[in-house]
Amino acid sequence: MFRSFLFLFIYFVTCHAQRTFEVDHVNNVFLKDGQPFQYVAGSFHYFRAHPDTWQDKLSKMRAGGLNAVDIYVQWSLHNPKDGQYNFTGIADVERFIQLATQEDLYIILRPGPYICAEIDNGGLPYWLATKYPNIRVRTNDPDYLREVSIWYNELMPRFTKYLYGNGGNIIMVQVENEYGAYKYCDEEYKNFLRDLTLNFTSDKALLFTTDRPIDNELRCGYTKDVFATVDFGIANEKEVEYNFQRLREVQPTGPLVNSEFYTGWLTHWQEPNARRGAAELAATLRIMLSEPYKANVNFYMFFGGTNYGFWAGANDWGIGKYMADITSYDYDAPLSEPGDLTPKFYILRSVIGDYLQLPPVPLSDPSKKKKYESINVSAVDSLLSSTGRANLGSTPIVGSDRLLTFEELDQFSGFVLYETNLPKVFSRDPANLIVEKLRDRALVYIENRFVGALSRENDIKSLPISKGNAGKKVQILVENQGRINFQENFDLKGILGNVTIQTYFEPYYEELSDWTITGYPFEDYNQIEALLKSDTVYELPKSKNGFLYDGPVIFQGTLNIPTKEELADTWWNYKNWGKGSLFVNNINLGRYWSVGPQMTLYIAKEFLKEGDNSFVILELQRAPSDLKVDFSNEADYNED
C-alpha cells in the first residue's frame, strides 16, 4: 500500500511539474508543457448571457475550432457597492471557468481592473467617484491603488486553482487593458499592477498586455517583464505585416498574438448597425495563421450577447461627441445574440480547420424562436406622482445649493430629478433656459407638464420657457445613458454645471438655486413590486400622438405561456413605443429606444417560464394608443 501511495504521489508531483505555459523567444512560439502551442480563441463575456446558456455557447465555440476562450472580469458587476460582492448567478465567473474547462477550452483571463468592453465606465465601479471625488483612475493615485488592491485580494484567489500551472486551464492573465490608449504611460502604476497580479499567479500562468498598433500606444502600454500583444481587425497582407512589425518594435521576439481580431463592431443609438464582412475576416485570419506569422488569434467577439440592465456604456472617441451604446451586443459575431451559428461561423471554422484539428463536437441546431401573440399593458403610475415618488424615488434632498451628481448621491444609474422654482419675473418672452454640462439626457417639465427635451448626444442644452411660467416649478429629469467606457478618466452623471435662465437683456442670465433632488435608481425591483401592489389609481392622460406629457409612466402586463414546450426565444418589437427599459419577471433586460437602429429587444427563453410572465415597462416619452406589446421571432436592426 505504501508503494502504491508513493507511486501516486510521485505521479501527481511529476504531472503538475510538467504543466507549464511559457514563451520560446528563440523559435517565436508558445510552449505548453514544453511543446509548441498555437491558440485560436474567442471572446465571450459571461455577463452578457443567461447562465443557463453558457455551456451551450461554449460548446459551439469549441465546435467552431477554437481551443481557448477569452473572458473579461467586470469589477462593477461583482463589486456593485463599496464593500459588497456578488459571485452568484450571472456573476458566477468560477462556474463559467469550470464549464469552459469541461468543453476542453483553455482560458485567457482578463481581470482588468479596467476592461472597456463597451460596459458602463469600462467596468470600473461608479462608487469610486462617490468615495473619492478627485480620484484619478488607472494611475498611481494612492486611492485608486488601494481600491484595486482590495478588489484583487477579493477576486484573484478565486482563480488560483484554475491556473494552468496548478492543474487548471487558465494559461494567460492580462495586466490592464489597452493602457496605451489612455495616454498616461504611468510606469509606477503599470509596475504596481504587474506585481500585484504576479503575487496571485506566480509562474502558473503567463502575464500579458494588449495594445493597438496606433501612434505610441504599444510603447505606452508595454510593461517590463510582461508579454506584449497587439489588436486589430480586417487587414490586407501589407497591413498585417505593418501591425505585427509595430509589435516587434517593443518586443523583438516571441510568438505573435492578435488579442482582439474584430469580427464586427459596436453600435450606438442613432447610427447604422455595424457589420463586418465574413470573406474579408476569413482572408485576414488566413494571413495571420500562415507563414511567416503563424500568429495566435483571439476573435473579439465570438459571441457578443446583450447589455442587460443599465450596463451598456458609451463612447466619444476623444472627439467630445457622446454616443450611447445600444442594448444588443450582437457585434455581428459568429454566434448571434441568441447563440445561433451564423454563416460567418462556418466560414471562419473552415479556415481554422486548415491550421488546427477540428474537434469531434457536433454542430447544434438554432434555438427555438417564437412570435408570441401581442399582449396588452395598462398604466400603473407616473414617476412624478406622489405615489410614484414614494415608491420609486429616494428620500428627497431639499434646499440644495448645488446640483448633486449621481455619484454624489451614491447612485449607479437610472434617473435624477432636479426641481426648483423659476424667477417670478421674466423680462424676456420666451426666456432661454440653459443646462450646462448635462450628462446625458433630460426631460424638462413645468408643474409636471412636459415642455422639452435636452440632449448631450445631440448637443441640445437650451430650450425656451414662456413668460406665463414665471414663478412656477421647473423639473429636470436627467437620464444616465451609460458612462463612457474608453479613454475617459471618469464620466460623471447628472448636471455638472449650472442651470440658468435669461430673464433680462443679453447677456444677463440668472442662475437657479434652492434645488430639491430626488433619485430614481431602479436598482431594487422590490420598489417596483411595491408600486404594482399598491392601491394606486392612475388614469393615463390621453394625447393625439401618445406622448406622455405628464411624465414617465410605469406599465404592466402579462404574457401567458401555457406549457414548457411553448417556451422559446423571442423579441419585443417596440417600434410603436418611445424610450425606456423593460423588466421581465423582475429582471431588467435593458434599454430600448425607437430611434434605432435596434428596433427589437431580445428575450431569451431562459428569462421566461410556464404560466404567467410579468412584463413591466418604464416608458419615458411615448406609448401607443392601443397599449400593445408586439413580439417578433427575429431581431430587427432597421437595415431594410
Q: Active-site residue numbers?
A: 178, 260
d(CA 165, CA 17) in angstroms, rounded, equals 8
d(CA 455, CA 532) in angstroms, rounded, equals 31
Burial 403-442 (b: 16+ CB within 10 A, else e): bbbbbbbbbbbbbbbbbbebeeebebeebebbbeebbbbb
What is the rounded end-to-end Cα distance, in angstroms, of the chain?
74
Residue 259 contacts by C-beta under 8 Å, 6 or more apart in sequence?
A: 70, 208, 210, 229, 230, 231, 298, 300
Radius of gyration of the chain (CA): 26
Inter-CA distances, 255 with 33, 215, 216, 357, 621, Å: 16, 22, 21, 20, 54
Q: What does the DSSP 8-state code read for residue 58?
A: H
Length of the chain: 640
Number of other CB atoms surrounding residue 219 within 10 Å: 14
Q: Give which of 400, 434, 433 is closest to 417, Cα–Cα.
A: 400
∠ CA 600-601-603, nearest 5°, is 130
Q: Which strands make up the sheet holding 510-511, listed edge to edge?
A: 462-465, 431-435, 499-501, 510-511
d(CA 393, CA 411) in angstroms, rounded, equals 12
Q: For residues 173 and 209, is the Cβ–Cβ distance under 8 A?
A: no
Inter-CA distances, 159 with 107, 204, 343, 455, 532, Å: 11, 11, 35, 43, 42
Q: For residues 449 and 506, is the Cβ–Cβ distance under 8 A?
A: no
Grid coordinates given for 630: 408586439
Q: In sequence order, which ranges of 290-417 are alpha helices (DSSP H)?
A: 343-353, 386-392
Number of other CB atoms surrounding residue 275 within 10 Å: 13
